[in-house]
A and B are shown apart, each in its own frame.
Chain A
Amino acid sequence: MRVTAEQDADRTTTEVPWAEQSAQSFGITIEDYLLPTHGRIQLISPEGALLPVEEQGSTPGHEYPMPDHETLLNAYRQLVIGRRVNDQNHALVRQGRMAVYPSSHGQEASEVAAALCLDARDWLFPTYRDTVAVLARGVAPLDVMTSFRGDWHCGYDPIEHRTAAQSTPLTTQLLHAVGLAQAARLKGEDTVVLGMVGDGGTSEGDFHEALNFAAVFKLPVIFFVQNNKYAISVPIAKQTAAPSIAHKAVGYGVAGERVDGNDLAALLAVLGRAVSLCREGGGPFLVEADTYRMQAHTNADDATRYRHDEEVAEWQHKDPLKRMRSYLTEANVLNDDVETEITEAAENVARGLREAMSVQPELHPLELFDHVYTVQTPQLAAQRAQLAEELEREGAGS
C-alpha cells in the first residue's frame, strides 16, 4: 500500500496533533505528557527488589507495568551474553587480537532493551558502542566484530537485519533513522525505528535536526539516549545545562522520559510503551537511560585521569546484571539449572569469538575496488590492475 496524494491531503486537513491525542489517552495535559516524570522511572531497586508503586518515579500518565517473567528471562539471557562478549572483547584487545573495542560494560541493560523492544519489521540505528544491541538483534557475533578486528568497516548486511551499520561519526545516524521512517511511511509500512546515541552525541547539531524533522513529520522514531556520563573524558555537566536530556524533547513537541538505564525491567517497560505509541502514530519519543560506562572509552583511553574510583564503585553497586539476577532468583524464575544453561550459552559465544579471532582473517586486497561504485570507473580499474600486478610480483618473489 502506498500513500496517495488524496490520503496526504486528508492527513493534513483532519489531523489532531498526535501529542495532544496521546496526552488525552492518558487523561493528562500535553505538558504533563511531553515532560518526563520528575525523577526517573525505576521498577527494580539496585538490590533486586520490586519497588512499591510510589517509589517507581511515576506520575499520572507515566505509570509503567512490569514486563512478564518470560520477557525478563529472555532479556536476562541476552544481558549475560552481552556482558560476556564485552569482557571477552576487552581481553582480545589487550591481547592484540582486536584493533579496538568500545565496551558497553555496565550499560548492557540499555543495549539489550534497545534491541528487544523492536520487532523483526522494525529498524535499529546503533553507534560504535552498541555492539551488544546489534548482537541482541540477531546478527552473528563474528559479523559484528569484523569492523573492530579491522578487516572491513561493516561485516553484516544492514538491510537483511534491519540494523544499520554501526555509526562512528556522532549522531549522524539519528537522521538516518528519521529518513528510514519516512521511507517506511511512503511504502505504507508500520515500521518503528529506534536510533541510539550517547550523552555527548546530544550536543551535536544533528541531534537537533533529527528530533525536529521527526516531530515535524510525526514519524515513529524512538531517540534512545544512553547517558553514560562521559563523552570520552568530558562529563555530562559540560554537555548540557538542561535538567536532563529527556527534558530536551519538549522543545520539539516530542515526549521525553527518563529511565534507570541499569534497570532492565524499567527499560523494557518504557521502551515497550514508546514502541506501541509510535506504532499507533503517537511518536516520536525520546528516552534517556541513566547509566554508566564502567570501563574506559576504548583501549586508547585512561579513565583514571578524569573520574574517581569512588564514583565507579558507586555504579558497581547499581550493576544491571546482578540486579536482574537477584530479582529473577527471588521470583523463582531463575534457578541454578537455568543459570548454568545461560552461562554456558554465553561461554559458547565467547569461545566462538576467541577462536574466530585467533584465525588470521583472509583478506582480498583486490576487493578494495569492488564496492566503490556499481561499475568501476576507468581510473579505479587502472588502480586495481596496478595492485594486481604488485600482488603478483610479491607472490612471484616469495
Chain B
Amino acid sequence: MTANTLVPRRKRAATVEVARPRTLISPAQLGRSRGRAVYWIVFALVVLLFTLVFLGPLYWMVTGGLKTTQEVVQSPPTAFPTSMHPENYEQAWKVMDLAKLLFNTLYYAFGALAFQLIFDVAAAYSLSKLRPIFGKAILGLMLMTLMIPATVLVVPQYLTVLDVPIIERNLLNSPWAIWLPSVTNAFNIFLLKRFFDSIPRELLDAAAIDGASAMRTLRSVVLPISRPILGVVSIFAVVGVWKDFLWPMLTLPDPGKQTLNVGIYSLASGVPENVLIAALTIASVPTLLIFLLFQRNIMSGLTAGGLKG
C-alpha cells in the first residue's frame, strides 16, 4: 500500500504541524468555516447531552436527598428543591446505620486490597521472575478461571464458604469470605505479571550479585518501579468490593456485617424516599471520590487491561 511508504515522512510532518494525531475528519475540513461551525455545534450538543445523561441523575440524586418526601414523588418533578432539608442526610445516616455499613464496606475493601497486594503481587513476581517449576501450569490454571463464567461458580463457592474443606470452618458472616476469594483475581495477576515481565532482567541480576534475596529484590527493586500498576490493581480491588452485590449478599446475611450495597437494598423499602435517596448519595461518595482522585490511573489501567497493552 502507498500508505505504508508514506508513514515515516508523514509522521514527522504531523508532529511538527499538530500535536494531535489525525482522526476521521481531516484538518482541512475543520479549517473551513463551515466545518468549524459544524464541529462546535456537534461538540456543544454532545457536551450538553452527556452532562444531562450522565451528570443529570447524580444531580437528581444529590438534590433529591434535600427534598421533602412529597416533593420527591411530586409530578412534575422540581429541578431545584423548594425548601432545603439537609436533615434527610442526617436521618439516613442514623436510620440506616450508614456509619456501620460504610465502615464494613471499607473494612472489606481494604482487607481485600491488602490480601490481593500481598498474595497476587507475590504470585505474579514468582511467575514472572523466579520462574518456578510448574509455574507455567499454575499460571495456566489461574488464567483458566477467567474463562469460567463467574456466576456459575457462585453456588459451589458458597458451599465452600459454608464449610471450607480441610480446615473445616464456616466463613459465613466473616470478612474472610470476602478477602480470601478476592485473591483469586487472575486478571490482576495477569496485569501484574505482564508489568513485571517488562522489568529488565539486568536490574534483578544486579541486585542478585549484590546479594539481595528474592524478597529483598521484590521490595527494593521491583515494587518501587511497579508503582503505576500497583495503583491500578489497588483501585480495581477496592472498587470491585465496593461494587459487588451478589457475593456479599450471600455470604454476609447478618445485617450488622453487611456492605453498603446489600444493607441499603435490604432497608430500602422501610424508609421514606427522600431519606433513601440521601443514603444513595452518601453510598456513592466514596467511589466517586476514588474515581476523581485517581481517574488518570483508572483510565490507564483500563487501556492496560485492554488487549494490546
Does B associate with A?
no
Residues of A within 8 A of B (CB): none
